[in-house]
Structures are given as C-alpha cells and as structure tokens.
Amino acid sequence: MIREAKSQGKSPLKTLDFIIEHGMNMLGGDAFREPTMMNVQVWSEAMRREAVKEALLAVTFNTLGLAFAELFQEAQGKGEVDPQLDPRALGITVMAMFHGLVLHRSLDDDIDIAACGEAMRALYQGTFRTSPGAA
C-alpha cells in the first residue's frame, strides 16, 4: 500500500493524504468490525506479552510508522513541514490519531468517519486555524 500511495501522491503530504483516505475508507466499511475487534485484543495482549508487543511493532509502527516518518522528513526537506519537528514523532502522532479513531469507531458506529478524516488532514496540514495568529 505504501508504494501505491507514493505513486499516487505528487508530494509527501499528498501521499500521506492517500494513506489516510485508505484508512478512513477501511474504517467506514462494513467489513471493519471483526478485524478491529481482533486488533484491540492484540493491542491488549501486547501490553502483557513481550513477544506479541514486538510482533505488533514490527507489522505496524516499524512499517507504516516508519513510512510516515520518511514522508514527514521528505516534506521537511521540501519546506512543507517545520524542520524543528521530529519526523518520527510526527509519524507516531498521525498513527495515534488513526488508532484512536479505530478504538472510538469500534465503540460508536455513529461517528462520521469522513469528517474525522477531514479533521485529521486539517490538523497535519495546518489548515484548522482560521488565522495564522489564532491561539
């Protein structure tokens, strides 16, 4: 999926948009519930068992999280993202937002996934403020 996203995106942040859109479509789909319940159980087990934690990190944070960090680092090189920010921390934060939505969606079928996707993009694109000086 990461390679496909990079081929679709004309910039690192557009690539990130593509990945986020894919995730939001997955969350909004009918087939979402069963795999998500299993994911939550795996996360819970990872808190108790080192082997499960390492496996989970290997297939999520060390792949998609690394890809996010690389996208942010590339965006920093193009002047699109503040170079003072840690690209790994940015990637982890975007993943945390998505995982938070996964948990919330598993409990609440009524959330508007499309609106949540727009909110995520507004946050990482810096467009959620009405003016540059808004605090």
Query: From CA 118, how far away is CA 122, in angstroms rounded?
Result: 6
Tokens standing for residue 122: 């507004």
Nearest to 18 by CA among 31, 3, 33, 29: 3
Q: What's the CATH number for 8-125?
A: 1.10.357
Query: From CA 134, how far away is CA 127, in angstroms rounded?
Result: 11
Question: 7-48, pLDDT tens digit by residue?
Answer: 665 788 888 888 888 889 888 887 877 887 888 899 899 999
27 contacts 101 by C-beta, under 8 angstroms: yes
Question: 59-106, pLDDT tens digit by residue?
Answer: 888 888 899 999 999 999 999 999 999 999 999 999 999 889 988 888
88 contacts 69 by C-beta, under 8 angstroms: yes
